[in-house]
Amino acid sequence: MQVGMLYSRIRRDEKLLLSELRDRDHEVTKIDVRKEHFDVHGMPESFEGLDLVLDRCLATSRSRYATEFVAHCDVPVVNDPRTAAICADKARNSLVLEEAGVPTPRTTVAFTKESALEAIENFGYPCVLKPVVGSWGRLMAKIDSRNAAEAILEHKETLGHYEHKVFYIQEFVEKPGRDMRVLATDGEPVTAMARSSDHWLTNAAKGATTEPIEVTDEMRDLVERASDAVGGGLLGVDLMETGDDFTVHEVNHTVEFKALNEVADVDVPGTVVDWLEEKAETEPAEATT
């Protein structure tokens, strides 16, 4: 098949995928989105002849808009721009999880520091304030007191960009020093890891230690439902343990998997490419000449 890869920087994750695709004799067109311009009225040359496009853009803005243009040209794209739009926004992510009946932490959104403070006081301390757009644990705040809440809200309101004026407030989940990341293709778990840290943020990007874990039946069910809720695709589902149960705090759409590949027994790029091949076969591109 002919695969397009939207990217701006080739990280280890992309290298793993590229070499797997090339090992299987697929033709890969690397599309550096920084060098492209996408025309509403026509197909960009770089999309011509492609059976499938894989979005590996680092920046959420690029990923969201570039995939819109791929879909506009009727070329199948992983992930679908509608899925990207949901996953790129923590508020939308929470809403669809809740609508699908997937357990997710109690969350409130407010637009002024006064109403946000009221919501925070209702949650009690500690609670969590997150940017609606962001990843790698950046700009997350665990709020321990009213003084801290007032300061953070004022800073965000005064200094923050537009997105930081949406206050996304969440209950603090007393997780056991770790959370879980399950990589899934259309809801089918590929592999999973636990990320442990002394810090409350357990992102691999924040230096958490990782170890493989088994996906239990309960996790499998939640991953499938969380994936369906955002529209399926190649996804990273994040879960926290709450005693004997789980809560899903987010679903990620341009998922990194080098950490998973290192700890897992599974051949992650191989399994992902198996799934891409299947996808290209079942959803052929409509305009590939």
**Least distance in Å: CB of 251 to Mg ion?**
9
Q: Does residue 238 bind Mg ion (CB under 5 A)?
A: yes
Structure tokens at 284: 């052929």
Q: E-strand spans in the chain? A: 2-7, 27-32, 52-55, 77-78, 107-110, 127-130, 141-143, 167-171, 178-185, 188-196, 209-212, 234-242, 245-252
Q: Which CB atom, from 224 or from 238, has the smaller least distance to Mg ion?
A: 238
**Least distance in Å: CB of 66 to Mg ion?**
22
Which partner, Mg ion, ligand ADP, none, binds residue 71 by CB below 5 to 8 Å per kind?
none
Interface with ligand ADP by CB under 6 A: which range of 131-139, 184-192, 255-263, 268-276?
131-139
Q: Which CB atom, from 130 or from 156, has the smaller least distance to ligand ADP?
A: 130
Structure tokens at 221: 């069910």
Q: Of residues 92-111, which lie at the interface with ligand ADP (CB under 6 A)?
A: 105
Q: Residue 7 — φ and ψ, nearest 5°?
A: -155, 165
**Least distance in Å: CB of 203 to Mg ion?**
6
Burial pattern 215-234, b for ≥16 Cβ within 10 A else e, equals beeebbebbbbbbebbbbbb
Q: Does residue 172 bind ligand ADP (CB under 6 A)?
A: yes
Q: Of residues 226-255, which lie at the interface with ligand ADP (CB under 6 A)?
A: 238, 249-250
Three-state SS at 183:
strand
Bridge partners of 194?
A: 180, 211
Q: Which CB atom, from 238 or from 256, has the smaller least distance to Mg ion?
A: 238
Q: Does residue 58 bind ligand ADP (CB under 6 A)?
A: no
229 within 8 A of 99, measured Cβ to Cβ: yes
Q: Which CB atom, from 128 or from 213, has the smaller least distance to ligand ADP?
A: 128
**Least distance in Å: CB of 139 to ligand ADP?**
8
Cβ contacts of residue 56 below 8 Å, gap of 6+? 5, 6, 7, 13, 14, 17, 254
Q: Is the peptide bond before 93 cis (omega within 30 degrees of 0)?
A: no
Rounded distance, CA 257 to CA 69, Å?
Answer: 25
Q: Does residue 177 bind ligand ADP (CB under 6 A)?
A: no
Which partner, ligand ADP, Mg ion, none, binds residue 65 by CB below 5 to 8 Å per kind?
none
Interaction site with ligand ADP (CB under 6 A): 105, 128, 130, 134-138, 140, 170-173, 175, 179, 200-203, 238, 249-250
Interaction site with Mg ion (CB under 5 A): 238
